[in-house]
Amino acid sequence: MKNKLSLITTLAIFVVGVATIQGCGEDRSTLYDGSGNKISSSGKKISWIYDTADGQQMVANNFVYIPGGFDVDGDNIPEDGFWLAKYEARETNESIRASDIATVNDLIRNNFLIYNKETKKFDQQLDENSSYLNVTLSQIEGFKASRVNFSPDKNPVQSYSPIEAVVALAHSQIDGSKWHIALPSEKQWMQVVQLVINNKENWNTQELEKGNLYQGNTFKMKDRRYFTIANNLLGKDPHVPEDYQVQVFDLSGNLAEWTNGMIAKEDRFLGGAAGEVTYTTLGTDTPKWWMPILNGRNVPLSSIYGVGKYYDGSSLNGTNDTLNITGFTGNVDKYAVVARGGSDTQADETLVGVSAAKLDYGPGFKDPTMGFRAASGYILEQ
């Protein structure tokens, strides 16, 4: 009788302790012991992601975990979390030799995602038979790249083109961690944007949509350089505690940052040469998930709240390249690489918000106002 009661008690604890969680569109079960600690089916305690050996390496190299558990791109599938560099990239003294093996075609195909007007997502690669840019890195005059890290020391890397940034990151992986780092995707950037704008901590009135988002240009509390990212705002990520919070710096101040998103010049949402506009004026061709929208609302936030404007380019002829990768420089490139966030030299605050997007620069564009940071892939995909 005693054994039967013990078995019944064990089964009851098992049933009560099962919680269904979501990620990547699939359900999986997690168990909890009597103290609320996550346990495996064998009864072994499960660590939070930042407590694992791989996670500790990411944290030691100034990466923070961005929680998922909510749908970013409108496909009704909750996204997983990912690691994001806490600071913009810093250059080291370890230069990277330009390789004769990889062409710019290869770099773009393997490191960037092109916007697809049919799906309204960044889910296309450059055609592998493309003859778009069959030049090697060593053939590009002015190409340079060094290993980078993500410490708060020194000034962020400036004047790296998108192709230089992906080469630098490929040679700057985190030792002792299984997660590969690269430029953040557009979906990942918007995941951060949604977590930023839906957190009262990031508004100077401590009330959503009231006042301004902290612009992040100085260390002063009234104009902080960081945004607070928290779990349990838009969804619950089971890999971190419900009260998990971290800070990410310079998402709207300091340098504008490259993502791995590219848009063909003919696919820019206002056709190019439309200049600087607010998100509220973009039409139905623009994917709704790509706009800064508060949870439960339908209208995108305006730039007056420090969210940032959309810049549609300055020339119908193409986007700007300063490296000679097409045979010419200037407005010659048929693809824009999406630049996000702030810019050192922009006096106009409307283009330095956390969701500011600029589509005027090709993969060979470099300028002192441009930088980058790194992200891992989504954690269940690596």
Q: Assess whether pLDDT exceeds 50 at residue 15.
A: no
Q: H/E element holding 14?
A: helix 2-17
Q: Of 197, 151, 185, nearest to 83 (Cα)? A: 185
pLDDT band of 349, cuts 50, 70, 90: low
pLDDT of residue 185: 98
Residue partners of 357: CB distance under 8 A and separation at least 6? 290, 308, 310, 311, 338, 339, 340
* Rounded CA separation 21/67 (Å): 13
Q: H/E element holding 19?
A: strand 19-23
Please say whether the beta carbons of 325 and 365 come within 8 A.
no
Q: What SS3 class is residue 235?
A: coil
Q: How many residues does the chain have?
A: 382
Q: Assess whether pLDDT exceeds 60 at residue 222.
A: no
Each residue of 257-272: pLDDT tens digit?
999 999 999 999 988 8
Each residue of 111-131: pLDDT tens digit?
999 999 999 999 999 998 888
* CATH 3.90.1580 residue ranges for the chain: 53-381
Please say whether the beta carbons of 360 and 311 come within 8 A.
yes
pLDDT band of 2, cuts 50, 70, 90: very low
Higher pLDDT, 227 or 19: 227
On average, the pLDDT of the chain sits at 85
pLDDT band of 306, cuts 50, 70, 90: confident
pLDDT of residue 351: 66
- Report percent pLDDT > 90 for the chain: 62
pLDDT of residue 374: 98
| pTM score above 0.85 | yes
Q: What is the DSSP letter of 213?
A: B
Beta bridge partners, 333, equal: 319
Each residue of 270-287: pLDDT tens digit?
888 788 899 998 988 899
pLDDT of residue 350: 59
Q: Of 241, 212, 213, nearest to 227 (Cα)? A: 213
Q: What is the DSSP letter of 240?
A: S
* Rounded CA separation 180/46 (Å): 23
Each residue of 170-181: pLDDT tens digit?
999 999 999 999
pLDDT band of 47, cuts 50, 70, 90: confident
Q: What is the mean pLDDT of residues 2-27?
A: 39
pLDDT of residue 14: 37
Residue partners of 117: CB distance under 8 A and separation at least 6? 267, 285
* Rounded CA separation 338/200 (Å): 27
Lowest-confidence region among 213-222, 251-260, 275-284: 213-222
Instruction: Say if domain 53-381 classifies as CATH 3.90.1580.
Output: yes
Q: What are phi and psi of 336, to 5 degrees?
A: -105, 135
pLDDT of residue 38: 60
Q: Assess whether pLDDT exceeds 80 at residue 160.
A: yes
* Rounded CA separation 66/231 (Å): 8
